[in-house]
């Protein structure tokens, strides 16, 4: 399911990395139990993919809930559930779903990015920034998180050395001329403010 927000959402696709515990890490009581879990996982993935394709957020949410009912550790379903809930303005529940997806996807930045969007859209810019920073820690070149963290600093009239690094990373990507000009101008503002603060401390 695709949702409209102040920034484009990244919705996890139905891939093997979204199925936690499918690599033989769980202890099974015989082949029958293993087959049952595999079947539930497969049904859950199919339901989550239907949720990804659904245009109506309420319908998408129903698919994701069914998927979670089949297999509770499907990160794709939790992430998609959060997107659907956010589209329905149910931000508290959306945040909980994104956190669950983030726990199940410990190396993937997307759930934390989406969690940041949930806070950003509610104008909790400082909390949103924290989530984008955590997403960047997971994947230092995740462009949506880099752009979102920079935008938070712009809104908050902030920025530090990390912000300058984020700007450089984005500028190294394929950016359009307008974005390049905006980022370059904001970089100069951050650099000037940091230089002024350094001089004030030295004086």
Check whether residue 134 and residue 105 sit in a common domain.
no
What gap in Å lies between CA 79 and CA 101, rounded to an integer?
Answer: 5
Check whether residue 14 and residue 32 sit in a common domain.
yes
Q: pTM of the predicted model, to two decimals? A: 0.83
- Residue 153: give its domain's CATH number: 1.25.40
| Number of structural domains found in the chain | 2
What gap in Å lies between CA 203 and CA 200, rounded to an integer?
Answer: 5
Of 122, 153, 172, which one is at a domain's C-terminal end? 122
Tell me the three state secondary structure of residue 106: coil
> 116 with 132: CB under 8 angstroms?
yes
Q: What is the pLDDT of residue 36?
A: 86
Domain that holds residue 161: 124-203
Cα R_g (the chain), whole angstroms:
20
Q: What is the pLDDT of residue 19?
A: 38
Q: What is the pLDDT of residue 5?
A: 38
Of 122, 144, 162, which one is at a domain's C-terminal end? 122
Check whether residue 6 and residue 36 sit in a common domain.
yes
Q: What is the pLDDT of residue 109?
A: 97
Q: What is the pLDDT of residues 55-98, one digit of tens each?
A: 999 999 999 999 999 999 999 999 999 999 999 999 999 999 99
Check whether residue 55 and residue 1 sit in a common domain.
yes
C-alpha neighbours within 13 Å on the C-beta side of residue 59: 9
Check whether residue 18 and residue 103 sit in a common domain.
yes
Check whether residue 192 and residue 168 sit in a common domain.
yes
- Which residues, given as ranges, of the chain have pLDDT below 50? 2-28
State both tokens at 144: 């949506």
Check whether residue 101 and residue 31 sit in a common domain.
yes
> 167 with 187: CB under 8 angstroms?
yes
Check whether residue 176 and residue 135 sit in a common domain.
yes
Of 77, 105, 122, which one is at a domain's C-terminal end? 122
- Residue 42: give its domain's CATH number: 1.25.40.10
Check whether residue 20 and residue 82 sit in a common domain.
yes
Q: What is the pLDDT of residue 12?
A: 38
Q: What is the pLDDT of residue 9?
A: 42
């Amino acid at each position: 399911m695709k949702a409209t927000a102040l920034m484009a959402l990244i919705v996890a696709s139905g891939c093997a990395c979204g199925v936690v515990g499918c690599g033989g890490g769980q202890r099974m009581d015989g082949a029958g139990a293993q087959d049952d879990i595999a079947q539930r996982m497969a049904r859950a993935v199919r339901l989550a993919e239907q949720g990804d394709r659904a245009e109506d957020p309420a319908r998408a949410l129903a698919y994701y809930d069914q998927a979670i009912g089949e297999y509770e550790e499907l990160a794709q379903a939790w992430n998609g559930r959060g997107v659907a809930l956010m589209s329905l303005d149910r931000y508290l529940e959306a945040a909980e779903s994104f956190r669950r997806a983030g726990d199940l996807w410990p190396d993937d930045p997307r759930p934390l990015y989406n969690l940041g969007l949930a806070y950003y859209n509610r104008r909790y810019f400082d909390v949103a920034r924290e989530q984008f920073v955590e997403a960047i820690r997971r994947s230092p070149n995740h462009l949506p998180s880099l752009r979102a963290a920079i935008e938070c600093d712009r809104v908050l009239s902030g920025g530090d050395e990390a912000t300058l690094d984020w700007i450089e990373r984005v500028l190294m990507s394929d950016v359009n001329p307008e974005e390049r000009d905006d980022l370059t101008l904001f970089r100069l503002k951050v650099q000037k403010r940091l230089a002024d603060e350094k001089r004030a401390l030295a004086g």
